[in-house]
């Protein structure tokens, strides 16, 4: 990856996982780790991610095209604000994307990934 692209990725990671938001940074970082390919924290009992969020985050990270207004309304009904839902959605999407990118880079670089996410 060129330095230009690395710089953009670093800025993205910082904005999504390290900046201040309405959701806790540690939750956003946990989401990133859980949804990355090979991550299994969404399916474990000791996950720091609230159980109510897990089906939605799984859908965002694996089947984003299936997310519906009903999914969003369900989270709102559970007390999540639109801002929180946005941050959680972006964390899952970026986490899944970074995980896939790292898998591709590792394949190209003989098994060594070159990008780190928020964690």
Average pLDDT, the chain: 86
Indicate the domain borders of the chain: 3-108
* Residue 107 banded pLDDT, cuts 50, 70, 90: confident
With beta carbons less than 8 A apart as the criterion, state whether 100 and 93 touch. Answer: no
HEC per residue, the chain: CCHHHHHHHHHHHHHHHHCCCCCCHHHHHHHHHHHCCCCCHHHCCCCCCCHHHHHHHHHHHHHHHHCCHHHHHHHHHCCCCHHHHHHHHHHHHHHHHHHHHHHHHHHHCCCCCCCCCCC
Does the pLDDT value for residue 76 go beyond 80? yes
CATH topology of domain 3-108: AhpD-like (1.20.1290)
pLDDT tens by residue, 9-38: 889 999 999 999 999 999 999 999 888 776
């Amino acid at each position: 990856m060129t330095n230009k692209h690395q710089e953009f990725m670093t800025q993205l990671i910082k904005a999504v996982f390290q900046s201040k938001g309405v959701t806790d940074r540690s939750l956003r970082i946990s989401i990133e780790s859980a949804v990355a390919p090979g991550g299994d924290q969404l399916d474990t009992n000791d996950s720091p991610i609230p159980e109510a969020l897990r089906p939605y985050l799984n859908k965002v990270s694996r089947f984003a095209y299936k997310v519906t207004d009903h999914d969003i309304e369900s989270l709102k009904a559970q007390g999540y604000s639109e801002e929180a839902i946005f941050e959680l959605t972006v964390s899952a999407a970026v986490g899944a994307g970074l995980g896939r990118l790292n898998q591709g880079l590792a394949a190209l670089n003989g098994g060594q990934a070159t990008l780190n996410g928020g964690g």
